[in-house]
Structure 1
Amino acid sequence: MAPKSPIIFTFVCILLSFVLLADSVPINETRFSPMEELKKVSRVRAKLKKINKPSLWAESGELCPEGTVPIRRTTKKDVLRASSLRRFGRKIRGGVRHDTMSGGHEHAVAFVNGDQYYGAKASMNVWTPTVTDPYEFSLSQLWTDAYQATGCYNLLCSGFVQTNNRIAIGAAISPRSSYNGKQFDIGIMIWKDHMEVTEILLNWTTIVDPKHGHWWLQFGSGVLIGYWPSFLFSHLQRQASMVQFGGEIVNSRSRGYHTSTQMGSGHFAGEGFGKASYFRNLQVVDWDNSLLPLTNLHLSADNPNCYDIKAGKNNVWGNYIYYGGPGRNA
């Protein structure tokens, strides 16, 4: 079975057990079942709500059956866009902490550091930025890290265990915002199930989550997508030391000058709502899995003449940022 996204992507429905085998999950870590993990965490999270078709793939109506998950088929064209086969799908080394534009990657981000973070949550404005070169990209991201540039994009690294058969990672998000028109955003949350949670039922104490310490990915109002098992991490086994929100582009300078690839909506932060892209309700997760507003929010723009960022706070959006820009504009 191979449902197709209306935007040229092909997704294959793969048995969840086969995905675990293909990702070479260590034998001593297969004591737990992905679906059992999902049931356990669901009991201590808000009850799952109906998914509102967050992607064009979901709108096609060709969803994967229970017990399988949608995996985007990698094409030759995807691989050729990478600088090398070894670097295909991987994050760039170096990050905002070093205030660098390493490898042509440029950022406009807000970040917090100096504390212990067990997750983060935000609503991200959805746009379709123009990308001028096939070797470039433009993305918006919520990045939880321990000052390490590790991992990959989407499912291009082994290890992530997807438990949801209705959301296709790597599919085109729909609907998208328009300049001076309707605005759309999606809620994303990453959190660590590090606590030993108990519940009292008929005078019996039941252990709901035996401290596996996985990092969960959640969409919208409580829709669990999957998790990164704890054994994947060294620096993130306990908590993160920094959380970032914002945009990133690649400037390949293939024509000898700065790219015109857009970040966000392609407009500067100062234009505000309906014109500039935003993140709203920025929050972090503390040690007892409570959501907290940000304190000591820092802003960083590698190249503010091309992409900038501004922050604010109000009673409706909490902490928020506007960010982005047109790239080369002179």
Structure 2
Amino acid sequence: MKMKVYALSLVIPLLLLGAVLGEKLPSKQTHSKVDEKLKLLNKVSLKTIQTEYGDVIDCVEIYKQTAFDHPSLKNHTLQMKPSFYPATKSKNWSSLRGMSQSWWKSGSCPMGTIPIRRILRQELLNGTSPENYGRKNPYIVNPNRTTVTQETNKTHTFNFLDKNGTSNFLNGTSNNLYVNRSTAMLITEGYSYIGAKGEINVWNPYIEKTNEYSTAQIWLVSGSREGMESVEAGWMVNPTLYGDTKTRFFIYWTADGSQTTGCFDLTCTGFVQTNHEVALGSPIEPVSSEFGPQYEIAIFIFMDVNTSNWWLLLNHKEVGYWPGELFVLLRGSAKVVQFGGEVYSETIGKEGVKHTSTAMGSGGDARDMYTGAAYIHHVRIIDYSLTEKYPEWVMEYMDEPYCYSAYNYVQYIKEPEFYFGGHGSHWNPYCQ
């Protein structure tokens, strides 16, 4: 009898523990979807590189990359080089403090292949679902909280198109704060844009929770904010996507405001890579330091007017392109260009919940400026004049000016310098 009681006393806790764990363990259906996704993303490689920081880089034949699994790209002809280059006046990259990708220490991929960061099973299981892995959450409006006022925007407007200093793109459909994300940026609109570029200094911001991320980037956008088509590139810290808090080079695209399309890097079909030296999602180093050296990446995105493909250049080298077939509005041009940062957190925009302390940029305020804040220098756009130039109209924009700031410095210098950043709620009672 005692033996039965003892056995039962063991079984009950195990059953209870199993029930608790059962809610967290993925189902057989989830594992099946994960297997299917891994098969799609991790192609057969000609060479495999094990990096010293834990990533595996697969050298995949260029014609067998994931992009060509997209339904719209079945008959797509690979474009190895742009057929068109806008007229540029860029300074020599050798004069900048540039970055390198950490995986270069461990090997290289041969010509005719592209380096692809291998996606691990656990990374897919850590996401919300295999279907949404690598995708931003859609924009969700919180009707109970408003964004920066028009009066605030007026204070930070420089020759902007609308006399009252407001943005049709940001405020045309809603003047409410978006849930889950916060931006601080320089925005220009009013023309048809076919390119944008800038030099972004690289930092490693603090991330409070593993399901949060922080970016510094350039966006080219068409459509409303909630349903926008966009191509984006810059650097990011994203523990959920990459499994660590390293600063990594990233790209992103969507054709419907991240409702059902698009993703970071090569975690879905779409972006066509042509470069055998750049691994999307790979760590970049070194990073900038306060009062110390500043290290930069040069981002240039432009549309090949002959093919409608959006080309991406990193440090003046072609990485690849987003095919025009992915889009509707962006097949003609972008209507908005944004330069700056974005923080994602489930606490942003929610009443009664403490705001995240995840940092943007360096974590310093935009007015800390050079060596203190994140920046994008040599901001340029390209319209149908086909020549790069500083935007005619720009505006600073902040979703939450008490949490993350933007500052376009224009005094006593040859051209404006744009700074952005902030540390969220960390030691900041005004960020709520």
TM tier relative to shorter chain: 0.7 to 0.9
**Which residue matches 2:151?**
none
Contact 1:3 1:10 in 2 (8 A): yes
Q: Deviations over 1:55-84 (max 9, x none)?
A: 1112x1411111100111122343344334
Query: Which of residues 206, 210, 214 in structure 1 aligns to 2:309?
Result: 214
Matched, 1:246 2:348: no
Task: Using the TM superposition, name which of 108-117 and 287-296 deviates more.
Answer: 287-296
Distance 1:104 1:226 in 2: 30
**Which residue matches 1:76?**
121
Distance 1:108 1:237 in 2: 27
Contact 1:122 1:280 in 2 (8 A): yes
Higher relative contact order (CA 8 A, sep 6+): 1
Gaps of 5+ in 2: 1-46, 141-168, 229-256
Matched, 1:155 2:266: yes
Distance 2:291 2:86 in 1: 42
Distance 1:262 1:156 in 2: 25
Query: Which of residues 193, 199, 213 in structure 2 aligns to 1:117?
Result: 193
SS of residue in 1 equivalent to 2:136: coil
Two-structure CA RMSD over aligned residues (Å): 2.9
Q: CA deviation at 1:118?
A: 0.4
Q: CA deviation at 1:152?
A: 1.9
Matched, 1:261 2:358: yes
Alignment coverage as a number of residue pairs = 307
Give 1 or 2: higher helix fraction: 2
Query: Which of residues 215, 235, 247 in structure 1 aligns to 2:329?
Result: 235
Task: Using the TM superposition, name which of 5-14 and 311-320 deviates more.
Answer: 311-320
Q: CA deviation at 1:25?
A: 5.6
Query: Which of residues 296, 311, 317 in structure 2 aligns to 1:185?
Result: 296
Instruction: Specify whether residues 62 and 42 from structure 1 end up closer, same or farther in structure 2 by C-alpha distance, changes over 3 A only.
Output: farther
Instruction: Specify whether residues 26 and 307 from structure 1 end up closer, same or farther in structure 2 by C-alpha distance, changes over 3 A only.
Output: closer
SS of residue in 2 equivalent to 1:102: strand
Matched, 1:104 2:180: yes
**Which residue matches 1:224?**
318
Query: Which of residues 87, 110, 116 in structure 1 aligns to 2:132?
Result: 87
Contact 1:99 1:302 in 2 (8 A): no
Q: CA deviation at 1:110?
A: 1.1
Matched, 1:126 2:202: yes
Query: Which of residues 274, 289, 292 in structure 1 aligns to 2:389?
Result: 292
**Which residue matches 1:169?**
280
Give the alignment's TM-score, normalised by structure 2: 0.65
SS of residue in 2 equivalent to 1:131: coil
Q: CA deviation at 1:267?
A: 0.8
Bigger radius of gyration: 2
Distance 1:39 1:146 in 2: 22
Q: Deviations over 1:233-286 (max 9, x none)?
A: 101010000011110111223994111111000111111110111111111012
Give the alignment's TM-score, normalised by structure 1: 0.84
Letter in 2 for 1:170: G
Distance 1:282 1:79 in 2: 36
SS of residue in 2 equivalent to 1:144: strand
**Which residue matches 1:202?**
none
Gaps of 5+ in 1: 195-210
Query: Which of residues 65, 81, 84 in structure 1 aligns to 2:110?
Result: 65
Q: Deviations over 1:69-116 (max 9, x none)?
A: 011112234334433433322234339725554341111111111210
Runs ≥4 residues deviating over 4 A: 25-28, 39-46, 98-101, 314-317
Distance 2:413 2:108 in 1: 35
Q: CA deviation at 1:312?
A: 2.1
Instruction: Specify whether residues 13 and 284 from structure 1 end up closer, same or farther in structure 2 by C-alpha distance, changes over 3 A only.
Output: same
Task: Using the TM superposition, name which of 13-22 and 124-133 deviates more.
Answer: 13-22
Query: Which of residues 53, 56, 59 in structure 2 aligns to 1:7?
Result: 53
Q: Deviations over 1:181-238 (max 9, x none)?
A: 11111110000110xxxxxxxxxxxxxxxx2121100111x31110111111101010
Task: Give aligned-pair identity as a percent.
Answer: 30
Distance 2:311 2:412 in 1: 28
Q: CA deviation at 1:28?
A: 6.4
**Which residue matches 1:205?**
none
Instruction: Specify whether residues 20 and 154 from structure 1 end up closer, same or farther in structure 2 by C-alpha distance, changes over 3 A only.
Output: closer
Task: Using the TM superposition, name which of 312-321 and 233-242 deviates more.
Answer: 312-321
Contact 1:253 1:259 in 2 (8 A): yes
SS of residue in 1 equivalent to 2:184: strand
Matched, 1:29 2:75: yes
